[in-house]
Amino acid sequence: AVPVTVVSAIGAASAFGVVVKSGAAFERFGGIRHLAVDKTGTLTGNNPTVTRVVTDDGVSENEVLKWAASLEGHSTHPLATAIASAVSDAPQADDVTETAGRGISGVIDGVCVSVGSPRWLDAGPLADEVRAMEMEGMTVVIVHSDGRPVGAVGVRDELRPEVPEVIRTLNERGIGVTMLTGDNPRTARALAAQAGITDVRSELRPEDKAAAVAELCRTQPTAMIGDGINDAPALAAADVGIAMGVKGADAAIESADVAFTGNDLRLIPQALAHAHRGRTIMN
Ligand code: ADP
Ligand code: MG
């Protein structure tokens, strides 16, 4: 049975946007000593915007952006939303398939187009420009047409404003923080420095994130917070999985023990305070 104090702490937490799957999960949450955190959409995602488009092979910037937007209209990834809203007249795409942590493909006007991570799609002659954009802190997606790199889209995806203070608060309470991201090491480092996170692991596939979390859990009780389908295996591997920005019934929530209905990361220290109170009254 779940102790009454835990139930009342859960009740208090739910009042400010924290949904808990079970009393046991909320008790475990109160005991965590480490937090693994996803980058794109979790530490960032306030209002990502397309800031640069580069092209090759005689293709125009407008064409590249339209192709990318056409596919991204089918995705809920935070980068997808930014790219899809950058044009108003995107062509229709068919046979669209998205691969978590990689990108999205489809057929536009009889041409196979893919948009996604430089880890998945070769940047070809655009590699230097892609690197330069990443050094500036942009997240870059490559656009392929019939298997050839034709363009790259740089998205500026800023840190959520409350993040540095949240990280500081967690560290003060003895909770270490590790960033886990599918993005490249340059963009990841630039953002981690702003956030005050020193342990950064990048270019991780969904299964790599899960392995990293499992390893952290062997050392100390660890929670993982993420927003996307690509985080589902990592959320399941954590002692406590937290899904953020919950809208509907997606894979991230299925795998989570705790869900935040909003996107404000101050919910972490706030929910922890409630979870601690539940534990303290009990003991
Ligand atoms: P994070 O782990 O930081 O949340 P993701 O795993 O969601 O990042 O994405 C990793 C990388 O995969 C992104 O930086 C992007 O390059 C690429 N990616 C994933 N989904 C998409 C998509 N729908 N469109 C374009 N690129 C994508
Ligand atoms: Mg994410």
Residues recognised as catalytic: 38
DSSP secondary structure of 106-164: EEETTEEEEEE-TTTS--GGGHHHHHHHHHTT-EEEEEEETTEEEEEEEEE-PBPTTHH
Q: Provide, rounded to the nearest whole percent, the portion of the chain with pLDDT above 90.
A: 75
pLDDT grade for 4, boundaries at 50, 70 and 90: low
Which residue is closest in CA terms to ligand 1's atom 10?
182
Fold for the domain defined by 49-156: Calcium-transporting ATPase, cytoplasmic domain N (3.40.1110)
Cα(142) to centroid(ligand 2), Å: 18
Spatial contact of 56 and 142, defined as CB atoms under 8 Å apart: no
Neighbours of 70 (CB within 10 A): 25
Both tokens of residue 165? Answer: 């203070």
Q: Give residue 59's pLDDT.
A: 94
The residue-averaged pLDDT of 153-173 equals 97
> Which ligand 1 atom is nearest residue 181's CA?
2
* Residues contacting ligand 1 via CB (< 6 Å): 38-41, 72, 75, 77, 79-80, 98, 101-104, 115-117, 139, 141, 181-183, 228, 230
Query: Do the bridges between strand 34-38 and strand 176-180 make them parallel or antiparallel, or are there none, so unpaired?
Result: parallel
Cα(6) to centroid(ligand 2), Å: 30
pLDDT digits (tens, 9 = 90+) for 25-63: 989 999 999 999 999 999 998 889 999 999 998 899 999
Reply yes or no on whether the pLDDT at 283 is more than 50.
no
- Of 50-54, 162-166, 226-230, the one with minimum mean pLDDT is 226-230
pLDDT digits (tens, 9 = 90+) for 63-114: 999 999 999 999 989 899 999 999 999 999 999 999 988 999 999 999 999 9
Domain positions in the chain: 16-45+158-282, 49-156
Cα(99) to centroid(ligand 1), Å: 9
Fold for the domain defined by 16-45+158-282: Rossmann fold (3.40.50)
Reply yes or no on whether the pLDDT at 123 is more than 70.
yes
pTM of the prediction?
A: 0.90
Q: Provide, rounded to the nearest whole percent, the portion of the chain with pLDDT above 70.
A: 92
**CA dist., res. 189 & res. 134, Å (int):** 10
